[in-house]
Amino acid sequence: MLAIFAISLITFQTEHPQKERLYHAEKLLVDEDPKVKVIPFAEIPQYVDKIYSDPWFKERYKNPQKPIIEKGKFGNNGYSTGNRIGFPPVATNIVILHEIAHQLTPKGMHGPKFARVLVDLVWKFMGQDSADRLRKIYLKQDVNWLQKPNGN
Ligand SMILES: [Zn+2]
């Protein structure tokens, strides 16, 4: 479901050492959070549009360019490369937010800044409970995230 294989294929950047722990943390969130939704590919562009037109989002991330959404080429994995995001036939809202977090931190590669952006997106687009859960899981799984506000 997550982009472990795809990302390593299509990027030349060095992965952050906490990548596997971050993936595991997301998997735990998917397992326990009732706000996790499965979204069919046909509805993903609309979901992404909504996020990119959100006033909070636009201000916080300095009006980022909306990515092109394409049908994924890597089975059940999502991926983000340049200004494109590929999604599988169905994806959870977590996977969508994960790939958007890549767009917002092109050099973050699952490091602390990426982890922080993901929490912020989860907070804004899934809710406080989900963000609290994710932070708790990060702590347990030893995932570091940038803790100061506006850290990007
Ligand atoms: Zn990723």
- Which tens digit of pLDDT belongs to each residue from 49-76? 999 999 999 999 999 999 999 999 888 8
> Do the strands 84-87 and 68-71 form a parallel or antiparallel pair, or are they unpaired?
parallel
Q: What is the pLDDT of residue 13?
A: 63
Q: What is the pLDDT of residues 77-95, one digit of tens each?
A: 899 999 999 999 999 999 9
Q: How far is the CA of 59 from the centre of ligand 1 (A)?
A: 23
Q: How far is the CA of 54 from the centre of ligand 1 (A)?
A: 22
pTM for this model (two decimals): 0.88
Q: How far is the CA of 21 from the centre of ligand 1 (A)?
A: 12
Question: Are 13 and 84 spatial neighbours (Cβ–Cβ below 8 Å)?
Answer: no
Q: How far is the CA of 109 from the centre of ligand 1 (A)?
A: 7
Q: How far is the CA of 53 from the centre of ligand 1 (A)?
A: 23
H or E element in which residue 88 lies: none
Tracing tokens 């340049």 back to the chain, one arrives at 82
Question: Are 78 and 70 spatial neighbours (Cβ–Cβ below 8 Å)?
Answer: no
Question: Cβ contacts of residue 78 below 8 Å, gap of 6+?
Answer: 1, 2, 3, 6, 72, 85, 86, 87, 88, 91, 95, 96, 98, 99
Domains of the chain: 4-11+18-141 (3.30.2010)
Closest CA relative to residue 76, chosen from 47, 45, 107, 38: 38
Closest CA relative to residue 36, chosen from 133, 142, 144, 143: 133
Average pLDDT over residues 20-45: 97
